[in-house]
Amino acid sequence: MKGIIRVDYKPVIGLEAHIELKTKSKMFCNCSADYFGKAPNSHTCPVCLGLPGALPVSNQKAIEWCLMIGLALNCKVRNFSKFDRKNYFYPDLPKGYQISQYDIPFSEAGEIKLKNNKTIRITRVHMEEDTGKLLHLNEDSTLIDFNRSGVPLVEIVTEPDFESSEDVNEFLKKLQLMVRYLGVSNADMEKGEMRLEPNISLKFSTSNQLPSYKVEIKNINSFRFAEKAINYELKRQAELLKSGETPAQETRGWDEKKQKTVSQRQKEEAHDYRYFPEPDIPPFTFDEKYIRELSAQIPELPDAKIQRFQKQYSLPYYDAEILTREKELANSYEEVAKIGNTKGINPKQIANYIINKKVDPINFEPAKIIDEILKGKTEEINESELDNILDKVIMDNTKAVEDFKAGKEQALMFLIGQVIKMAGRKLDSNLIREEIKEKIK
């Protein structure tokens, strides 16, 4: 229609992820870092309570693990770094400042790739201490538990490279799995061991300039909540921009009951925190030999393991990705595959068994799994032959295909039977099931 100009906006999303490390003691004192579920204020001392005269001493293991996270994210580790005081006044911060890092973080300038080959740039990976936890009893009463105060916290900051909540979700799951593979954190979101803060804004789709504002959503502890909050916020901001109003630069929270973000406070700038070097902790220097030694401790990470499983065991991406979602499950698969190789069992058959039977990676018996696979062992079929049979069965049974798409599981069983019948030998029904699903999805 003449006179109407369509305005399209493009999401600009950056991310701050906080991950608690599972060290035995806190970041700057000897208090136990195993605070979850313990009696309030039972894991505290003068240091983590911020009492006058108490001096912090850095946790070496926490710093090493922070550096390893940086290396795993392809960051450059600085040879010189330091801690800083981040000054702000909030009830859960007993000292009136947080020991963090400002201008010289431990690691910076990394990247991680998503499945769609999009590169997410990592701005920095730095170390800080966690705060206490506020317990809101009602509108007039709030208690503070300082057990969490001083627990080692790693912050990973990205560039604003995300364009959708789906990409954010994939990145966060990759990050969670990566730190679990490293063995430095359980990243259990229900326990608050991994918390997310997306920064969200919109720009004109034709513009190369970053928006003049950004909105930060604080302390999200669920992938699902992160996706909901981002999608809601993009819609809210688009409506404001279309009405000619620029969204306020502020901090908001996600209200799960109301299914919306709510304003909390005006967003601070770096100068508001009055950063200055932490005078009680000397700076750090790391030589190249030390950095190489830390790098050598990094195990095979999920993305590399997926690629190896595809190549070494001829697995499709789908199988390799599922098998590597837990480090223990991947190790269990390889253990069974090694034994299966001596008995002529195809690695794909083993993958099918472990995935479909939902094998417990902790309490599993390789010999028993091999015996069960041998009992139901099927004959192999050439990939091109199977492909031709699948195409013919699908073409000759269009009603069954439509029935399955409509949700009738029995129709899929019929199609599997037709494939086995046409092949004239016993085939792996689970393999056929997945191949049919792939073809008619």
**Alpha helices, H only, 297-382:** 302-312, 317-323, 327-342, 347-356, 366-375
Average pLDDT, the chain: 88
6-20, 35-49, 72-86, 191-205: which has the minimum mean pLDDT?
A: 6-20
Mean pLDDT along residues 379-395: 83
194 closest CA partner among 164, 229, 225, 237: 225
Please state, in angstroms and rounded to a whole number, the distance separating the CA atoms of residues 428 and 373: 11
* 156-216-202-210 Cα dihedral, nearest 10 degrees: -60
Asked whether residue 85 is assigned to any structural domain, the reply reads yes
Instruction: Answer with the residue of higher pLDDT: 170 or 366.
Output: 170
Question: Do 288 and 337 lie in a common domain?
Answer: no
Q: What is the mean pLDDT of residues 334-346?
A: 83
pLDDT at 435 over 90: no
Q: How far apart are CA 81 and CA 282, in angstroms?
A: 10
Give the three-state DSSP class for 77. Answer: strand
Of 252, 271, 296, the one marking the end of a domain is: 296
The predicted structure's pLDDT at residue 367: 77
pLDDT at position 122 is 96
Pairing of strands 152-158, 119-129: antiparallel
Same structural domain for residues 342 and 242? no
At 5 the pLDDT is 39
Q: What is the predicted pLDDT for the residue at 6?
A: 44
Q: What pLDDT is stored for residue 2 in this prediction? A: 42
If one counts the domains in the chain, the total is 3
In a domain, 261, yes or no: yes
Question: Which pLDDT score, from 0 to 100, does residue 345 have?
Answer: 78
Place of tokens 């490390």: 21
Rg, the chain, Cα only: 26
User: Predicted confidence band at 381 (pLDDT cuts at 50, 70, 90)?
Assistant: confident
* DSSP state letter for 148: G
Specify if 86 maps to a domain.
yes
Last residue of a domain, one of 324, 353, 375: 375
114 and 171 part of one domain: yes
**Is the confidence at residue 379, as pLDDT, over 50?**
yes
CATH code for the domain of 417: 1.10.10.410
Poorest-pLDDT segment among 54-63, 198-207, 369-378: 369-378
Strands 215-217 and 250-255, by their bridges, are parallel
Residue 291 forms part of a structural domain: yes
Question: Which residues are CB-neighbours of 427 under 8 A, at least 6 positions away?
Answer: 378, 379, 381, 386, 419, 420
Here the tokens at position 176 are 């969670």
- Indicate whether 69 belongs to any domain: yes
Same domain, 175 and 206: yes
69 in the same domain as 35: yes
- Residue 210 or residue 166, greater confidence: 166
**Section 126-143 average pLDDT:** 88
Tokens for 80, please give them.
Answer: 């010189």
Query: Rounded to whole angstroms, how far apart are CA atoms 120 and 265?
Result: 28
According to the model, what pLDDT value does residue 114 have?
Answer: 92
Among 320, 348, 375, where does a domain finish?
A: 375
- Between 101 and 368, name the one with better pLDDT: 101
Give the C-alpha separation, 248 to 215, whole Å: 7
β-strand partners of 138: 141
> What single-letter amino acid sits at 129?
E
Q: What does the pLDDT look like over 21-31, one tens digit per residue?
A: 999 999 999 99
Residue 130 lies in a domain: yes
Confidence band of 395 (pLDDT split at 50, 70, 90)? confident
State the pTM of this model.
0.79
> Do 292 and 426 fall within a single domain?
no
Residue percentage of the chain with pLDDT more than 90:
50
Q: 97: closest CA among 83, 87, 105, 108?
A: 87
pLDDT band at 115 (very low <50, low <70, confident <90, very high): confident
Is residue 155 helix, strand or coil? Answer: strand
Rounded CA separation 390/422 (Å) = 9
* Distance of alpha carbon 65 from alpha carbon 154, whole angstroms: 9
- pLDDT tens for 185-225 read 999 998 989 999 999 999 887 777 888 888 999 878 889 99
Please give the residue range of the domain that contains residue 362: 302-375
Q: Note whether 291 and 396 are same-domain residues.
A: no
pLDDT at 4: 40
Q: For the beta carbon of residue 93, count every other beta carbon within 10 angstroms.
A: 19
Task: Count how many Cα atoms sit within 13 Å of the Cα of residue 47 in the half-sphere of its side chain.
Answer: 20
pLDDT tens across 83-103, in order? Answer: 999 998 888 898 999 999 999
Considering the domain architecture, whether residues 63 and 175 belong to the same structural domain is answered as yes
By mean pLDDT, which of 32-46, 106-120, 268-282, 328-342 is the weakest? 268-282
Neighbours of 14 (CB within 10 A): 22
119 and 178 in a single domain? The answer is: yes
- Residue 168's DSSP bridge partners are none
Which helix or strand (DSSP H or E) is residue 60 part of? helix 60-72
- Domain assignment present for residue 1? The answer is no
- 246/201 Cα distance (integer angstroms): 10
Q: With H, G, I as helix, E, B as strand and everything else as coil, classify residue 189.
A: helix
Name, in order, each residue with C-beta under 8 angstroms of 5's C-beta and a sequence gap of 6 or more.
none
* 354 located within any domain: yes
Distance CA 311, CA 372 (A): 26
Rounded distance, CA 181 to CA 299, Å? 7
How are the residues of the chain apportioned to helix, strand and coil, as percentages rounded to the nearest 5? 40, 20, 40
- Same structural domain, 308 and 288: no
Name the residue type at position 436: I
Query: For residues 295 and 244, is the Cβ–Cβ distance under 8 A?
Result: no
Element counts in the chain: helices (H) and strands (E)? 13, 16
Nearest-angstrom CA–CA distance, 21 and 149: 13
**Which pLDDT band holds residue 294 (cuts at 50, 70, 90)?**
very high
Asked whether residue 240 falls in the same domain as residue 318, the answer is no
- Whether residue 400 sits in one domain with residue 346: no
